[in-house]
Amino acid sequence: MKVLSSYQDGKLTLHLKGELDHHEASAALRKIGRVLDDYLPQDCVIDMEGLTFMDSSGIALILKISRLMTETGGRAWVENARRQPLRVIDASGIDRMIKVVV
Amino acid sequence: MKQRNYIKMEFPARSVNEGFARAAAAAFAAQMDPTMDVLGDIRTAVSEAVTNAIVHAYPDSAGPVQMRLRILEGDQLEIVIRDRGRGIPDVKKAMEPMYTTGGEERSGMGFTIMASFMDSLRVRSSPEKGTAVTMRKRIRTKAEE
Ligand SMILES: Nc1ncnc2c1ncn2[C@@H]1O[C@H](COP(=O)(O)OP(=O)(O)OP(=O)(O)O)[C@@H](O)[C@H]1O
Ligand SMILES: [Mg+2]
């Protein structure tokens, strides 16, 4: 998978692309940790438009991003998730802990 | 139950095989003409079970993981993921949502996701002998839905 980022007016958008599983998750998290440190954004959008597959490793990653953002007084939320990642998000119930914009 | 078709495969517990295993399972299931959503559910359930074998069953080695899929009478798809790793001491507890021994990188939602995406989930495990996860789902064809 790939993680691209864009930044505007205090809002960092993480564009996740490809398949997010255990094999890909640790490299993705390292990259995201670096970008968050660089920008220290107020808001962080996890944009899943390009994400074609995600399993519970993605759930852990979303929760981790949310935690990192809360630590620095910011917020994170999920946008543009396709059907399969959305079904995993629904089944895990994390939409009670993080906003999921559909 | 009579089986109409099956595949069996074995691969070492290396994370690079997670993507291969779910793609292979989806390619086999495609002959049942499932919807895209159901194909996604199958890929997800397989990814969860295979990842568990890789992460938890063999923490410091790349032991064997077996995957078997069968098409049974009544359009039932059965998926079995088997490892010969360390086993699960308390299966009931392990299957509770959010229970994990994996730390921050894991969410403890794998079994919950398998259970919600498949019609049935059975986990048999014994210390040192390993774990077998059996999942079944009746596949309605695209035409039926
Ligand atoms: N094949 C296995 N061998 C040994 N232990 C296992 C196996 N599968 C699961 N477990 C145990 O069951 C627990 C729960 O598994 P589950 O898949 O629900 O969550 P997880 O793998 O910890 O996290 P997640 O799947 O959300 O990444 C694991 O933390 C582990 O202790
Ligand atoms: Mg798991």
* Domains recognised in chain A with CATH numbers: 2-101 (3.30.750.24)
In this structure, the residue with its CA closest to atom 19 of ligand 1 is: B108
Contact criterion met (CB < 8 Å) for B104 and A88: no
Mean pLDDT over each residue of chain A, to the nearest integer? 97
Does A60 have pLDDT greater than 80?
A: yes
pLDDT of residue A85: 98
Which protein residue's CA is at the shortest distance from atom 31 of ligand 1?
A: B101
Query: Which amino acid is it at B145?
Result: E
Q: What percent of chain B has pLDDT over 70?
A: 100
Q: Which residues in chain B show pLDDT less than 70? A: none
pLDDT score of B56: 97
- pTM summary value: 0.97
B47 contacts chain A (CB < 8 A):
yes
Question: Looking at per-residue confidence, does A57 or B141 come out higher?
Answer: A57
Catalytic, B52? Answer yes
- In this prediction, the answer to ipTM > 0.90 reads yes
Best mutation target, B38, B54, B95, B105, to test chain A (most A CBs within 10 A): B105
For the CA of B91, the nearest ligand: 1
pLDDT in the model for residue A52: 98
Choose among B112, B24, B128: nearest CA to B68: B24
pLDDT value at position A16? 98
Go through the domains of chain B in sequence order and give each one's CATH number.
3-138 (3.30.565.10)
**B22 given a catalytic annotation:** no
State pLDDT tens for residues A15-29. 999 999 999 999 999
User: Which pLDDT value is given to residue B6?
Assistant: 98
Query: Who wins on pLDDT, A57 or B3?
Result: A57
Check if A93 contacts B (Cβ < 8 Å): yes
Which of A41-45, A48-52, B58-62 is predicted least confidently?
Answer: B58-62
Ligand 2 (ion): which residues have CB within 5 A?
B 52, 110
The single residue of B106, B124, B136, B140 carrying the catalytic annotation is: B106
Task: Please indicate whether, in this complex, the C-beta atoms of A91 and B116 are within 8 angstroms of each other.
Answer: yes
**What pLDDT, on a 0 to 100 scale, did the predictor assign at position B79?**
98
Instruction: Based on the residue annotation, tell me whether B18 is a catalytic residue of this protein.
Output: no
Closest CA to B14 of B67, B53, B43: B53
CA torsion B69-A92-A90-A39 (nearest 10°) is -120
Residues of A in contact with B40 (CB under 8 A): 53, 83-84, 87
Percent of chain A whose pLDDT exceeds 70: 100
Other residues' Cβ atoms within 10 Å of the Cβ of residue B33: 15
- Which ligand is nearest to the Cα of residue A57, counting in written order? 1
What b/e sequence results for B101-140 when a residue is b if at least 16 CB atoms lie within 10 Å of its CB, and e otherwise?
A: ebeeebbbbbbbbbbbbbeebebebeeeebbbbbbbbebe
The pLDDT score that the predictor gives to residue A27 is 96
Residue B86 in contact with ligand 1 by CB distance below 6 A: yes
